[in-house]
Structure 1
Amino acid sequence: MVFHGRGVNQSAFLFKVFCLCLVAALFLVTLTPNAALAREVTVKLVWQFPETGWLEIEVRQGSYTLDYNDFSVSLTAGDRCQIGQSSMADFLAVGDRFVTLEKNKVKLTSENQGVFRVREPEKDWISYRGNLSIVKENGCWKLYNSLEQEDYLKGVVPIEMSNAWAAKGFEALKAQAVAARTYLLKNINGGVITDSPDIHQAYLGRSVEGEASQAVTATTGEVLTDQDTGRPISIFYSSHNGGYMEVPQNVWQNQDAHYTSTPDPFSNGIGGYTDHWRFVIAADVLGEAFDLAPVRQVKLAKYVSGRVYRVVLQDWLGNEKLVSGGDFVRKFYPEGPLSNDSFLGRLFQVEYIMPVLQKNTPETPEISLTGNSLAGMSVEEGTGPLLSRIKSSNDGIAEKPGVYGVFVFNGRGWGHGVGMSQWGAYDMAMQGYSYQDILNYYYKNIDLVKME
């Protein structure tokens, strides 16, 4: 590094630099580990762009520098570029230029509060703030979005909750902002986090920004820390706890003093299908899913909260299989924006409905079912949290069900039930509770602190 200027005494300058570094080091060691918020976060876009071979990028706001090979080009609003690959080479098209990429990285750097959008073939555009690095990894392009941490949270809160909640539940959005910021601080690894709810927390960038951004701004820098250590807590939240908070020990086998297992009246009677859901499946289809003959009996083992931790399936041949409550539910809800530990709530009961043979003709007896209506559940698109927007399945149910009957599962809640129930938080906010009240209700032995 070269310093320019007249009359600079190099020894004196170096001594001053040394003193400043020493003071900075002494200051840093007084900070609690992980207590300083990262000013910039890099998000690996594995949820929306898992394995990408072709991309189109457009600058929407501000100006950018596009770096590729050993060249740079300036882009302004409306400019586009395309990145692709073939069996022979990787390529970049920008304007009227078409070049072969000699290096495995292309970088788009914002010069002033830039916004860009990206899409794959036949897919919708997704907008992001900040910078974009596109790196060739394992034969496909991987995208890394780098931006300010508070801007990152503006792309998290509305997809975890909803911008529509700002009108009546703004305090819930503020609680979610604090929870999401705490999660970021606790889980960021080397400055990198993913956009995937399967791995971390959902992030959809500038595309979902709206009224919830005000909740992020209103709580800037605020996180939850342990009362004794001052360290950020391991924070959990889910869409709907079914009216009963769960503890981490019953979900992930790890104890955590910041959570309790207790009834949550704020999560009762709110949340639509996340509050009460219904799943119907034919006995033979259920058996086939677990390599059994048609199932004749289902037994449920539950925690005090009512959540199922073990399902025992017994078929008509006498075979029996034990399945964990989580694995059982995931068997029928394997897709959608559903994280591997935020599955459909395990608060459920089961009812077996036997078929009744009714004579129609000697050759074709008609089969009907005794019991309640078998109308299946489907979750409609709405204004609630992300995890409440998943379609149900009724595989195996036909107009004339088989001779082995059906099982009806009636349940409550959507998610693991640990920590803040997003629908419960919304209910509290509508009843006039503050975001501090909400956080203290769902998390124990914590302090709400502002990090600089």
Structure 2
Amino acid sequence: MKLHFIFRTFIISLVALSCVFLCAGAAGAASAGIVRVALVRDSDDLSFKVSGNYEIVDKATGRVLAVPKQGEKMQVELMEKRISLSGPRSDYGSFKGPLLVREAGFSAAVINGSGRVTEQSIAASMAVNSDGRAISLGSSEAPAVRSSSKTVQLTGGSDGLNLVTLNSASAGKRYRGDMEFLLEDGGLTAVNVLNIEDYLRGVVPAEILSYWHPEALKAQAVAARNYALERAETSRGSFDVYCDMTSQVYGGYDAESPSTNKAVEETRGIVMLSGNRIVSAFYHSSSGGATENSEDVWYDRVSYIKAKSDPYDKNGDHYNWRVSYTTDQLIIKLASAGYKFKKITDINELARTSSGQRVKNLEIKGEGMEGKPLTVQISNADNVRMALGLKSSLFQLTRQYDKQKNLTGVEITGSGSGHGLGMSQYGARGMAEEGYKYQDILKYYYSGVVIAEDYGR
């Protein structure tokens, strides 16, 4: 995948500096891969502001529509099936879109003592020394010039960090990378477009507690990298992943923490492979003591997602939880999952997963909305979990009856949180605390995988 940059120019005198280093914030993203994250969908209007160097481009024509000032509020609105763009200085018009709020990188011109340009470069990163020869690149969050005595950051008033603040109905959050606004299903969709490593900075602390053991944080970083890269490779829509639990939770720049950023950086480019392909690394909060085969929880068999006991998952938050439903409450709960009952007369467990721990098939009997007998069988453990609104499908169910032997409710006792596939986050913490490295953790939860550098290339 390619990144496209529009560059601003800094003129640097060779009288003062012996060499120039310019490194755009997204340098290296082309090799790492780009992720498109849906932040908001089906909106009528959104506002945003930028910190750093950005420009707004009509992707349909490639035309630059505006160069927003730092902190300046810009508005995008749905207007007669087009995207209207406005700001405090102008109404820019309406467009078919998409509109891209794009990071503006840097170009450099090197002049000699007489003021004549001797070297000029447009690149995401470059280095030119005083006699015009290219030299090896450094790396930096911000563009910088370096002399023999010191390094000076070229911040442009933004501390070298480009961020877009997206304001939606809930709140304003800051995001690295670019922001794209497009029309989809009759509404506005906002998509954060950024390189995989910057994306992970906002995922890892949102998915796991930042004060947990560093090896657990690293395992989470690799699992999240795998999940996102596999989705980006196979996605055919306008975005690759959602920003919530539908995919994996992404909190943007404001969610970042030093410990999780370090975990991302120390595992940069590390992925898991199976058959020379990036695996889709499912993970969950707590296994409840056992993980499952993928085909028992969902439908498809995945060679590296296997059932196994999990003695490392120990916590006081997700074990021996209890849920009680009256039959009326059960009718409402099942209706929200698409199973419409007027009356429920019986509920039975039909089968368990291969580990013997989770309920795989559940049968419910009663009357349908028209008063006729209705029997529903719910297959696969995650469907059972979702239908009953439970933290996990690892549970025991006890039926409750009145004196006339009519079903009045159920009491459910269970353990775990999540689907139970792949890595348990609490289990990763437990393994890390026992001295295991992140590679050991990943190989335990993902059977037969190979851990590779440089994104598996």
* CA deviation after TM superposition for structure 1 residue 89, in Å: 6.2
Equivalent residue number for residue 43 of structure 1: 36
Q: Which amino acid aligns with 1:176?
A: Q
Match of 2:321 among 269, 277, 280: 277
Higher helix share: 1
SS at match of 2:291: coil
SS at match of 1:144: strand
Query: Does structure 1 conserve the Cα–Cα contact (< 8 Å) formed by 2:243 and 2:251?
Result: no
Residues 1:196 and 1:148: Cα distance change in structure 2 (over 3 Å): closer
* CA deviation after TM superposition for structure 1 residue 180, in Å: 1.4
Q: Which amino acid aligns with 2:439?
A: Q
Q: Does 1:326 align with 2:382?
A: yes
Match of 2:48 among 57, 61, 76: 57
Residues 1:292 and 1:190: Cα distance change in structure 2 (over 3 Å): closer
Equivalent residue number for residue 148 of structure 1: 195
Report the TM-score when normalising by structure 2.
0.70
Equivalent residue number for residue 155 of structure 2: none
Residues 1:296 and 1:332: Cα distance change in structure 2 (over 3 Å): closer
* CA deviation after TM superposition for structure 1 residue 451, in Å: 1.0
Higher strand share: 2
Match of 1:437 among 436, 440, 443: 440
SS at match of 1:414: coil
Match of 2:182 among 129, 135, 140: 135
Alignment of 1:294-333 (within 5 A): 294-305=344-355, 306-315=357-366, 320-324=375-379, 325-333=381-389
Equivalent residue number for residue 252 of structure 2: 205
* CA deviation after TM superposition for structure 1 residue 355, in Å: 4.7
Q: Distance in 2 between matches of 1:81 and 1:430?
A: 47
* CA deviation after TM superposition for structure 1 residue 252, in Å: 2.8
Question: Cα deviation per residue 1:120-175 (whole Å; 9 max; x = unaligned)?
Answer: 2x42112110111212233222222222221011122122222242xxx2211100
Alignment of 1:253-264 (within 5 A): 253-264=299-310
Match of 1:225 among 239, 253, 273: 273
Residues 1:133 and 1:304: Cα distance change in structure 2 (over 3 Å): closer
Alignment of 1:21-32 (within 5 A): none
Residues 1:245 and 1:199: Cα distance change in structure 2 (over 3 Å): same
Q: Which amino acid aligns with 1:424?
A: G
Match of 1:105 among 98, 112, 133: 98
Alignment of 1:369-408 (within 5 A): 404-408=407-411
- Any stretches of 5+ residues in structure 1 without a counterpart? 1-35, 334-342, 358-402
* CA deviation after TM superposition for structure 1 residue 300, in Å: 4.4
Query: Does structure 2 conserve the Cα–Cα contact (< 8 Å) formed by 1:193 and 1:200?
Result: no
Q: Distance in 1 between matches of 2:234 and 2:376?
A: 43
Q: Which amino acid aligns with 2:85?
A: L
| Count of equivalent residues | 353
Q: Distance in 1 between matches of 2:88 and 2:52?
A: 18
SS at match of 2:67: strand
SS at match of 2:164: strand
- Any stretches of 5+ residues in structure 2 without a counterpart? 1-28, 106-160
Residues 1:297 and 1:106: Cα distance change in structure 2 (over 3 Å): closer
Q: Distance in 2 between matches of 1:220 and 1:53?
A: 38
* CA deviation after TM superposition for structure 1 residue 263, in Å: 1.2
Residues 1:119 and 1:307: Cα distance change in structure 2 (over 3 Å): same
Q: Distance in 2 between matches of 1:201 and 1:217?
A: 19
Equivalent residue number for residue 417 of structure 2: 414
Residues 1:442 and 1:407: Cα distance change in structure 2 (over 3 Å): same
Q: Distance in 1 between matches of 2:449 and 2:81?
A: 56
Report the TM-score when normalising by structure 1.
0.70
Residues 1:297 and 1:104: Cα distance change in structure 2 (over 3 Å): closer
Q: Which amino acid aligns with 1:186?
A: E
Equivalent residue number for residue 57 of structure 2: 67
Question: Cα deviation per residue 1:327-362 (whole Å; 9 max; x = unaligned)?
Answer: 3332343xxxxxxxxx732111111234579xxxxx
Equivalent residue number for residue 430 of structure 2: 427
Q: Which amino acid aligns with 1:223?
A: V
Question: Cα deviation per residue 1:31-55 (whole Å; 9 max; x = unaligned)?
Answer: xxxxx9853413141xx41212101
Q: Distance in 1 between matches of 2:217 and 2:413?
A: 30
SS at match of 2:289: coil
Question: Cα deviation per residue 1:263-297 (whole Å; 9 max; x = unaligned)?
Answer: 11111x4150x333221110244256441524345
Question: Cα deviation per residue 1:420-441 (whole Å; 9 max; x = unaligned)?
Answer: 1111111222232211221121
Query: Does structure 2 conserve the Cα–Cα contact (< 8 Å) formed by 1:41 and 1:146?
Result: yes
Residues 1:136 and 1:297: Cα distance change in structure 2 (over 3 Å): closer
Identity fraction in percent: 28
Q: Distance in 2 between matches of 1:179 and 1:171?
A: 12
SS at match of 2:225: helix
Match of 1:173 among 187, 194, 217: 217
Query: Does structure 2 conserve the Cα–Cα contact (< 8 Å) formed by 1:284 and 1:295?
Result: no
Equivalent residue number for residue 249 of structure 1: 295
Residues 1:79 and 1:300: Cα distance change in structure 2 (over 3 Å): same
Match of 1:182 among 207, 210, 226: 226
Q: Does 1:236 align with 2:290?
A: no
Q: Distance in 2 between matches of 1:97 and 1:54?
A: 17
Q: Distance in 1 between matches of 2:373 and 2:247?
A: 42
Query: Does structure 2 conserve the Cα–Cα contact (< 8 Å) formed by 1:130 and 1:146?
Result: yes
Q: Which amino acid aligns with 2:422?
A: G
